Chain A
Amino acid sequence: MSATILEEKACCTSAGPCSSEAPDWIASARAEAWRLYDSLPNPARTDEAWRFATLSGLLSPQECLHAGPALSKESGEELVRRSRGVERVAGRMVFGNDRLLARSGQELARLGVIWLPLLEAARQHPDLVQSHLLKTPAALGSAKFAALHLSQLKAGTFLYVPRGVEVDLPLETHHWLESGACFPHTLVVAEEGSRVTLMDYFQSVDRNGKGLACGVNDLVLAPGASVTHVSVQEWGRNVTGFHIGSAALSRGARSASLQVHLGGRRMRSESISRLCGEGARSDMLSVSVADGTQEYDQRTLQVHEARNTSSDLLYKNSLDDTARTVFAGLIRVEPGAHQTDAYQKVRNLLLSGEAEANSAPGLEIEADDVRCSHGATTGEVDAAELFYLLSRGIPRQEAYKLIVHGFLEEVLERLARPDLTARLSERVYAKFDAKAGSAR
């Protein structure tokens, strides 16, 4: 990989780790990660972890991995105005081209909650950040890109919720990409019995914007902690991206993560849930609406390391035009992890004869007292459902839309957070409406 990293002015001519100011331990971690990135081979289609993937569009040797320039004050303010998720939040951070544009929620500090830009947190709480930063290896094929991410680590949020603290309102991070590359990071550490919700929004300034996005988010849950994490990926239509996520759950912890993929050109997403303590439960959810030539490549791993843990994955894709999706997931039940409940389901809805859905749901079970199942279905809109709607006078296009909405809605409902999902539904359906509008 002969990539060129152009970072600000200081390092815009030579490839290498990000040189923006950071604590020493971050700087050396960046340097080491850069060496690793440089030494690891590019993925090949013969790798099992990259089966079905289209590699040509993912990265090309000429790709320029430079961070875009700092935004002007006016455009920064404009982006802050455009950064709207749910109505009421406990705190919000906005980044543009990997630079902090705005933040709110400082009053959370009164509860002992740490809600800081990542580098600031690394300065103020070095031990805390260091002990949790990138501790779950990217085991699903993108180790090289996780290394790239770390080598360019600069932007993102650190959220620490102390023992027993429950944050009712959601927190929000908005990442905007104007040009070049960005490397957003999210690290959530939830102490014993705490509860928090974080929403990450990823958008390009321009709907057809291009560039590279290579983000990581890690959730670390102490016993009995509860974390809900939602990421809404609406990068511009020419952005290539990686999204590497994990959740590590201790005894009795519960995590629910939902990914919504609407934007980008080619997106590779990897998610790992590690159920390390008894009674832990992880819900992994995803909604993807792929059209045009979009390609979403999702890899997942549910690892049951302790007894009496449960995980439940539901991924749904709707595919139109010549879009492609890949789902390759694995449930792994380690020896001795008895009384495991693990489920995995992927459903693909083909709206066009040219779209292609690939599914590879996998199981590796090394304990006998388990309840595990997985399923994958691929099909079209059901003819009987369609006729029923038509017979009520609903026009064909509208009927399709309703059925697809219903298909995806099931995932959003599984989050059991109507306060969050109502707005998500709107975003999801706006994509259909925009498409329907342009078709007319």
Chain B
Amino acid sequence: MRLAKTHHTMSSLSIRNLHVRIGEKEILKGLTLEIPKGEVHAIMGPNGSGKSTLSKVIAGHPDYTVTAGEVFLDGEDILGLEPDVRARKGIFLAFQYPIEIPGVTNANFLRAAVQARLPEGEELEATEFYARMYEKMDLLEMPRAFTGRAVNEGFSGGEKKRNEILQMAMLEPKYAVLDETDSGLDIDALKVVAHGVNSLRGPDLGILIITHYQRLLDYIVPDYVHVMMDGRIVQSGPKELALELEARGYDFIKEGLERAEAVAG
């Protein structure tokens, strides 16, 4: 079994031996993963393996309890930080199910989020903000009227996912976690979203894609693929691993693991 580098560096999102439970149930059982800046990593795994839990824990969702392990952002331990502080330090989570916020327009929402990243006392320059927002919206083929609509309210599945990527584009994170961003998208919408993500790829951004299917990875080609099962990364490899998974299913990995355990036992 080949794991990603496990020591943390000054320019990576580094997760070490992470144990997480919700209520009494342990979901992550010693997960280790490192995403260097500039790389795109994909995590694949069957339902219930803990993929979404990982994304929420990185973002600091209050429902989850971390019982052991560490998460370092460019060398800084972020586990004790509030979710908004983490976000301003550069963590972005594209939600699997983006939340609807009645009455709050997309424009106001994004302004508040961008404003929160400015130094104390500095005011957002409105025209610049709108110019930048429209540019990103064009990239994602979003109509102008969208800015006046309440955040995600009454959006189709595709619109919600595009909106997540728009926010990612506007907030310029250091590390972005895309949680099942392909779910609920038809092929056209998938291409648009992938195009948006690809345009953001670069040396200053690390991306972690969480997905159930290979399909998304045809459009956002990862540098590495990790397989997650039962709360751990059980296998890592180059992008071809995703194709192998698609062809042979998760069972072949499971069998491999069982054989390995039998040998070890």
B82 adjacent to A396 (CB under 8 Å)? yes
Whether the pair B103, A387 counts as a contact (CB closer than 8 A) is no
B259 at the interface (CB under 8 A from A): no
Q: How far is the CA of A133 from the CA of B207 in the complex (A)?
A: 70
Contacts known (A385-B99, A391-B84, A391-B87); A402 close to B104, Cβ less than 8 A: yes
A25 CB–B CB distance under 8 Å: no
A398 at the interface (CB under 8 A from B): yes
Q: Check B84–A406 contact: CB distance below 8 A.
A: no
A407 at the interface (CB under 8 A from B): yes
Task: Tell me which residues across on chain B come within 8 A of A410, comparing CB atoms.
Answer: 102-103
How far apart are B139's CB and chain A's nearest CB, in angstroms? Answer: 19
Tell me if B61 is interfacial: C-beta within 8 Å of chain A.
yes
CA A430 to CA B43, docked complex, whole Å: 46
Q: Please report which residues of chain B, range 61-85, place their CB below 8 angstroms from some CB of chain A when the two chains form the complex.
A: 61-62, 82-84
> Given A391-B59, A396-B84: A402 and B99 within 8 A (CB)?
no
Q: Does A409 contact B (CB under 8 A)?
A: yes
Contacts of B83 in A (CB 8 A): 387, 390-391
**Complex interface: chain B residues within 8 A of A385 (CB):** 99-101
Pairwise interchain contact A393-B171, C-beta atoms closer than 8 A: yes
Q: Do B113 and A392 have beta carbons less than 8 Å apart?
A: yes
A403 CB-CB contact with B under 8 Å = yes
Residues of A within 8 A of B93 (CB): 391
Within the assembled complex, what's the spacing in Å between the Cα atoms of A394 and B101? Answer: 14
Q: Are A394 and B104 in contact (CB under 8 A)?
A: no
- Once the chains bind, are A405 and B103 in contact (CB under 8 Å)? yes
CB of A408 closer than 8 Å to a CB of B = yes
* B103 contacts A406, C-beta separation under 8 Å: yes
Which parts of B177-231 form the interface with A (CB within 8 Å)? Answer: none
Q: Is the CB of A403 within 8 A of B87?
A: no
Q: Check if A393 sits within 8 Å of B102, measured CB to CB.
A: no
Interface pair B99/A395, CB less than 8 Å apart: no
Bound together, the chains give a CA A76 to CA B95 distance in angstroms of 56
Tell me whether B234 is interfacial, beta carbon within 8 Å.
no
Main secondary structure of the interface of B (DSSP, over half): mixed
A409 to B103 alpha-carbon distance, docked (Å):
6
Which of A384, A393, A409, A410 has the most CB atoms of chain B within a 10 A radius of its CB? Answer: A393
Selected from B61, B101, B103, the residue in CB contact (under 8 A) with A389 is B101
A-B contact count (CB 8 A): 81
Closest B residue, CB atoms, query A410: B103
A236-292 residues with Cβ-Cβ distance < 8 A to B are: none
A406 CA to B108 CA, complexed, in Å? 10
B245 at interface (Cβ–Cβ under 8 A)? no
Interface pair A398/B82, CB less than 8 Å apart: no
Q: Is the CB of B108 within 8 A of A392?
A: no
The B88-115 residues at the A interface (CB cut-off 8 A) are 88, 91-93, 95, 98-104, 108-109, 112-113
Whole-angstrom CA separation of A410 from B105 in the bound complex? 11
Cβ of B104 and Cβ of A398 under 8 Å apart?
Answer: no
- Asked if A399 lies at the interface with its beta carbon under 8 angstroms from chain B, I say yes
Chain B residues near A387: list those with CB within 8 A.
61-62, 83, 99
A406 to B, closest residue via Cβ? B103
Bound together, the chains give a CA A398 to CA B85 distance in angstroms of 13
> Is the CB–CB distance between B112 and A402 below 8 Å?
yes
Contact A388 B112 (CB under 8 A): no
Say whether B167 faces chain A, with CB atoms less than 8 Å apart.
yes
Q: Does B117 contact A (CB under 8 A)?
A: yes
Asked whether any CB of chain A lies closer than 8 Å to the CB of B116, the reply is yes
CB distance from B152 to the nearest CB of A (A): 9
A384 nearest in chain B by CB position:
B99
Write the nearest CB–CB distance from B38 to chain A, whole angstroms: 22
| Minimum Cβ distance to chain A for residue B112 (Å) | 5
The answer, yes or no, to whether B4 is at the interface (CB within 8 Å) is: no
- The list of the 9 closest CB pairs from A to B, nearest first, reads A406-B103, A393-B87, A406-B104, A390-B83, A388-B99, A409-B103, A390-B84, A393-B88, A392-B113
Interface residues of A (CB under 8 A from B): 383-385, 387-396, 398-399, 402-403, 405-410, 413
